[in-house]
Structure 1
Amino acid sequence: MSLDTSLSPATLPGAGRTALVTGITGQDGLYLAELLLAKGYEVHGVVRGQNNPRRELVEELVPDVQLHTGDLTDMSSLLRALSASNPDEVYNLGAISFVAYSWENAALTSDVTGKGVLTMLEALRLHAGSDLDKVRFYQASSSEMFGKVQEVPQRETTLLWPRSPYGVSKVFGHYMTINYRESYGMHASSGILFNHESPRRGEEFVTRKVTKAVAKIHLGLQDELVLGNLDAQRDWGYAGDYVEAMWRMLQQDEADDYVIATGVSHSIRDLVTIAFDHVGISGWEQFVRQDPRFLRPAEVDTLVGDASKAKRVLGWEPQVDFDSLVRMMVDADLEALKAGWK
Structure 2
Amino acid sequence: MLHSPSPKRALVTGITGQDGSYLAEMLLNKGYEVWGMVRRHSSTAYDRIEHLLEKGASDQGALHLVHGDLRDTGSLLKILRQVRPDEVYNLAAQSDVKVSFDLPEYTADVTGLGPLRLLESLRELDLPSRFFQASSSEMFGKVQETPQNENTPFYPRSPYGSAKAFAYHNTRNYREAYGLYAVNGVMFNHESPRRGDSFVTRKITMAAARIQHGLQNMLLLGNLDARRDWGFAGDYMEGAWMMLQADEPSDYVLATGESHSVREFCEIVFEELGQPITWHGRGLEEYGQAPDGRKLIQISPEFYRPSEVDMLQGDASRARELLGWQPSVSFRELVSMMLAHDLELVERDAARADVA
Category of TM-score, reference length = shorter chain:
over 0.9
Q: Show the counterpart of 1:86.
A: 84
2:172 maps to: 178
Q: What one-letter code is carried by the residue in structure 1 that aligns with 2:248?
A: E
Letter in 2 for 1:112: V
Instruction: Work out whether 1:44 is the aligned partner of 2:38.
Output: no
Separation (CA, whole Å) in 1 of partners of 2:44 and 2:336: 28
Residue 84 of structure 1: how far off its partner (Å):
1.8
2:245 aligned counterpart, secondary structure? coil
Aligned partner of residue 241 in structure 1, secondary structure: helix
Q: Counterpart of 1:193 in structure 2: which amino acid? A: M
| Alpha-carbon distance in structure 1 between the residues aligned to 2:341 and 2:170 | 38
Which runs of structure 2 are paired with 1:224-235 in the superposition (5 Å)?
A: 224-235=218-229
The CA distance in 2 between the partners of 1:29 and 1:114, in whole Å, is 18
C-alpha deviations, 1:25-62, integer Å up to 9, x for none? 11000000000000000000000124352235434444
Tell me what 2:46 maps to.
55
Partners of 1:117 and 1:233 in 2: CA distance: 28
Residue 281 of structure 1 aligns with an amino acid whose one-letter code is Q
Q: Distance in 1 between matches of 2:236 and 2:166?
A: 22
CA-CA distance at 1:115 after TM superposition: 0.5
Say which of 68, 84, 92 aligns to 2:66.
Answer: 68
Q: Which contiguous aligned blocks of 4+ residues in structure 1 show a shift greater than 6 angstroms?
A: none
- The aligned amino acid for 1:92 is N
Asked whether the 8 Å contact 1:265–1:304 carries over to 2, the reply is yes
Amino acid at match of 1:196: H
The match for 2:335 is 326
Q: What are the within-5 Å matches in structure 2 for residues 280-319 of structure 1? A: 280-283=274-277, 284-285=288-289, 286-319=295-328
Confirm whether residue 139 of structure 1 aligns to residue 137 of structure 2: no
Deviation at 1:181, TM superposition (A): 0.1
**Alpha-carbon offset, residue 214 of structure 1:** 0.5
RMSD: 1.3
Segment of structure 1 superposing worse, 221-230 or 117-126 = 117-126
TM-score, normalised with respect to structure 1: 0.93
Asked if 2 retains the 8 angstrom alpha-carbon contact of 1:234 and 1:265, the reply is yes
Distance in 2 between the 1:121 and 1:35 partners? Answer: 24
**2:19 is aligned with 1:32:** no
In 2, the alpha carbon distance for the partners of 1:157 and 1:326 equals 30
Q: Give the deviation of 1:276 after TM superposition.
A: 0.6
- In structure 2, what is the equivalent of residue 192 of structure 1? 186
Q: What is the one-letter code of the residue matched to 2:165?
A: V
* Correspondence 1:220 to 2:214: yes
Aligned to 1:7: none
Q: TM-score, normalised by structure 2?
A: 0.89
CA gap 1:192/1:52 in 2 versus in 1, 3 angstroms: farther
Whether contact under 8 Å (1:47, 1:55) holds in the other structure is: no
Equivalent pair of 2:21/2:48 in contact (CA under 8 Å): no
- Three-state SS of the structure 1 residue aligned to 2:196 is coil
Higher Cα radius of gyration = 2
Structure-2 separation of matches of 1:247 and 1:260: 12
SS of 1:250's equivalent? helix
Match of 2:240 among 246, 257, 261: 246
CA-to-aligned-CA distance 1:236-272 (integer Å, 9 cap, x gap): 0000111000000000011010000000000000000
21-30 or 276-285, larger mean C-alpha shift: 276-285
Q: Which amino acid aligns with 1:320?
A: V
Aligned residue identity for 2:121: A
User: Displacement, 1:193?
Assistant: 0.1
Q: Contact 1:92–1:117 at 8 Å: present in 2 too?
A: yes
Letter in 1 for 2:340: D
Letter in 2 for 1:194: F
Q: What is the alpha-carbon distance in structure 2 between the residues aligned to residue 26 and residue 57 of structure 1? A: 7
Structure 1 letter corresponding to 2:305: R
Shift of 1:83: 1.6
For the residues of structure 2 that align with 1:322 and 1:280, how far apart are their CA atoms? 19
Q: Which residue of 1 aligns with 2:280?
A: none
CA-to-partner distance for each residue in 1:78-130, whole Å, 9 max, x for gaps? 11111221100000001000000000000000000000010011111122x2x
Pick closer, same or farther for the CA change 1:52–1:70 going to 2, 3 Å.
Answer: farther
The CA deviation at 1:164 is 0.1
- Partner residue of 1:6? none
The one-letter code sitting in structure 2 at the alignment partner of 1:146 is: F
Distance 2:7 2:193 in 1: 31
Contact 1:50 1:69 in 2 (8 A): no
Amino acid at match of 1:18: R
Is the CA contact 2:133–2:183 (under 8 Å) kept in the aligned structure 1? yes
The one-letter code of the counterpart of 1:210 is: I
> Which of 17, 21, 32 matches 2:8?
17
Given that 2:232 and 2:334 are in contact with CA atoms closer than 8 Å, whether structure 1 keeps it comes out as yes
Q: How many pairs align?
A: 326
Cα shift at 1:177: 0.1
